[in-house]
Amino acid sequence: MTRILVLNGPNLSRLGTREPDVYGLTTWPELAEALSKAAAKGETIEVRQTDDESELIGWLHEAVDTSSEVVLNPAAFTHYSYAVRDAVALVTSAGLPLIEVHISNPHAREEFRHTSVISGVATGVIAGFGVNSYHLALAAVRQRRA
Ligand code: DQA
């Protein structure tokens, strides 16, 4: 059984009401439910969100310890958290895939969002497809496995 952790950083629990012109109208509970139900045969998908950097780092350590594949939306941590980057590097250097995901396209937004300190250690990046970015990331980890 392959375990996929879909991890989400700060403010993503506010989806649906947070800047809907940027992030869309899908609420966090709707997204979490849809992703939890998206497990293919032989997979389990666990969806989590935190506003806490240390909790997110703990979950990345857990991914290493349980050999889980990871889909990660680091949210604002993307742009400045070297601690999250180092934890992501632990996952990918263990040979596990980690796809960095963004709902919006950060490169088409404010300049501070053009930098990701995560991308250089992620397996790949998917951004700009709304909440469908998550489903594309799930497809990517499956194709890599096949
Ligand atoms: C985001 C983009 C980030 O710049 C922002 O801080 C977020 C969400 C996205 O999914 O588009 O919180 O990661």
| DSSP letter string, 110-132 | -GGGG--SSGGGSSEEEESSTTH
pLDDT band at residue 55, thresholds of 50, 70 and 90?
very high
Cβ of 31 below 6 Å from ligand 1: no
* Residue corresponding to tokens 């990660």: 72
pLDDT band at residue 79, thresholds of 50, 70 and 90?
very high
Domain count, the chain: 1
Per-residue pLDDT for 75 more than 90? yes
Q: What percent of the chain has pLDDT over 70?
A: 100
Alpha helix (H) residue ranges in 1-120: 20-23, 28-36, 53-65, 82-93
Q: What is the pLDDT of residues 100-136, one digit of tens each?
A: 999 999 999 999 999 999 999 999 999 999 999 999 9
pLDDT, residue 38, reads 97
pLDDT, residue 146, reads 83
80 catalytic? Reply is no
Per-residue pLDDT for 7 more than 90? yes
CATH of the domain at 44: 3.40.50.9100
Give the domain range for residue 62: 2-145
Task: Give the nearest ligand 1 atom to 73 CA.
Answer: 13
Q: Which residue's alpha carbon is nearest to atom 12 within ligand 1?
A: 75
102 catalytic? Reply is yes
Cβ of 113 below 6 Å from ligand 1: yes
Mean pLDDT (the chain, rounded): 97
* Residue corresponding to tokens 């700060």: 10
Cβ of 72 below 6 Å from ligand 1: no
Q: Which residue's alpha carbon is nearest to atom 6 within ligand 1?
A: 76
Q: Is the pTM of this model over 0.95?
A: yes
